[in-house]
Chain A
């Protein structure tokens, strides 16, 4: 029925946040297109997980269960996803831009000869008129992402190929549970019929995955630093402020690349997207890839020596000055004035 299908990642006994965020988005796109949402669950023991998908709007859940599918592996997952997409013929397929999704989606897209857009920051439905052929395409998926050093925002479409495929990072879309879970149905797939011995040529010898150490996505207050912070040691000043305010520290890609801060804390198009109550940007110029991950913060304070830094134009408060002088003052006056 040309629905929207979402590949749902599982970690341990739960469905990954990014997949639930995608289901929520898929639901609103599906309402616009008057179609349904389908989810794909692949794993060893998936008991009950379909309920989570129904609660987030899935009308159909495709389940592929097999002992050999306990951990994610490229080849068998590609085979299963291609089989399901081939039979169900969705018009849109969405994947999380996680290590799993970014390993799987391109392989699937190649096998299906479909177009794929990575790291979308927005998805919309719209139409397109092609002058050369005088054709109007209705109900296309607009896959919107910043491109080229962030100076431009590109809208990508796949007029001819189906499904239209996209990946989206965790946190970019908002997750919402339905008021009433959908009374959906489960469709079980026979894994033995789909995967062969060749799909298991790669053997997992060892594996260790920890729970996330930092959770900046959930923080209400974020003190973020950029390249302008200048060193790893200087970041300690930011940690101190975050500490007294009860917040977390994040950073730009330039700060991550320079080794000032770990990658888990990168905010932006290729990092996490955050929506805190308060975002304090220190030594951050505010290129679009960074703004894409923080501009929905309720309040933004920018501390920058450059009065014309681009970030200032989305800030609520602009402090023109050196972060190394401003932050200690903030700490001092916070301690003095809070009870």
Chain B
């Protein structure tokens, strides 16, 4: 069977699950520096599905595509450590301020410059939980989408059989290539790093990273071209600049408010036997319980 080209969409996100007290600046804006940048969790599930396709169809290749600032190259290295064959960092100042529509436009034009049979995204990114970029990339590429994927059951030359999770059940569908999948967190976790790959790729860098590096990588890169992480910007993807960044984003943030509690006057109850009994009796008497 012909091997497959698989693209994994992976995003670097602030770890909103561990928001500490210093996450907000005094002026009410988010202090991104205080949040650790991580590989979006469901994108790791997506990477695992991609690697499984590669296991099922020998000779297949997995490439990551991530859009973000220079440091998002971290995500690509992480993917390489876990078994991916390569990656592209889509980065350009002109992408700043993109909403999901502008993001999916940029990503889909980048994909247009790559070869693919299957695009695998996470269901959603934890920084916004929108779950929009996957389906919107599929629409822009004019290919079908299969969302909430849990397992790829079978692959043949023309199609795959996929199990997807529904609200209270599941569905099994047969999808032709090319297709875009979004993977649900209930799909298997990603395999760990492979020591051999960590050795092989720990010096993988983008050109921008090289410019800031203290050591000279010229020789190393000549000997080992696979260490070069490809970067693409507006120019490389030949995108319509109007459709990118703020100007390509129909949604605007009108207002951001800090969350202020309207503090109620709460009755404070001691956790001892007597006060808890009094509370329970009060709740029974006013018919809240019982």
Give A residues with C-beta under 8 Å from B: 74-75, 78, 98-99, 102-103, 105-107, 109-111, 113-119, 128, 142-143, 146-161, 201-213, 221, 245, 254, 257, 264, 269-270, 277-278, 287-288, 298-299, 301-303, 310, 312-322, 325-326, 329-330, 333-334, 336-339
Contact = CB atoms under 8 A, between A and B. Distances in A.
Contacts of B277: 329, 333, 336-337
Contact of A205 (B99, B144, B147, B172): B172
B264 A277 contact: no
B173 A103 contact: no
A154 B256 contact: yes
A75 B289 CA distance: 49
Contact of A106 (B131, B144, B161, B256): B131
A156 B277 CA distance: 47
Contacts of B23: 148-149, 151
Contacts of A143: 251
Among the interface residues B16, B104, B175, which one has the most CB atoms of the partner chain A within 10 A?
B16
Given A74-B144, A157-B251, A149 B288 contact: no
A122 to B, nearest CB: 12
Nearest to B279: A317
Contacts of B147: 74, 99, 102-103
Nearest to B167: A99
Nearest to B172: A206
Contact of A142 (B19, B254, B256): B254
Contacts of B267: 316-318
A15 B175 CA distance: 28
Interface of B: 14, 16-17, 19, 23-24, 28, 30, 35, 99-101, 104, 127-136, 138-140, 144-148, 161, 165-176, 249-259, 261-264, 266-271, 273, 276-277, 279-281, 283-284, 288-290
A310 B263 CA distance: 10
Contacts of A301: 279
A302 to B, nearest CB: 8
B289 A278 contact: yes
Contact of A152 (B144, B161, B256): B256
What are the 7 A-B residue pairs with the smallest beta carbon separation, nearest first?
A: A321-B271, A115-B250, A149-B19, A209-B169, A115-B251, A106-B132, A110-B139
A309 to B, nearest CB: 11
Contacts of B17: 149, 254, 257
Contact of A161 (B250, B258, B283): B250
Contact of B280 (A99, A114, A206, A333): A333
Contacts of B252: 156-159
Given A205-B172, A334-B280, A326 B271 contact: yes
Given A201-B176, A211-B168, A148 B101 contact: no
Contact of B169 (A210, A322, A330): A210
A142 B129 CA distance: 19
7 contacts: A110-B104, A115-B101, A154-B255, A154-B256, A209-B166, A211-B168, A313-B264
A201 B284 contact: no
B251 to A, nearest CB: 4
A154 B144 CA distance: 32
A116 B100 contact: yes
Contacts of B140: 110
A312 B266 contact: yes
Contacts of B133: 106
A122 B266 CA distance: 26
Contacts of A299: 288
A338 B290 contact: yes
A155 B19 contact: no
Contacts of A153: 256-257, 259
Given A106-B100, A115-B249, A206-B172, A317 B284 contact: no
Nearest to A310: B261
Nearest to B287: A277
A221 B289 CA distance: 8
B289 A99 contact: no
Contacts of A74: 135, 144-145, 147
B171 A319 contact: no
B271 A152 contact: no
A245 to B, nearest CB: 5
Given A99-B148, A116-B101, A147-B256, 19 more contacts: A75-B144, A99-B147, A106-B130, A148-B127, A151-B30, A152-B24, A154-B253, A156-B251, A157-B254, A158-B252, A204-B171, A209-B168, A301-B279, A314-B263, A315-B266, A316-B264, A319-B279, A334-B290, A339-B290
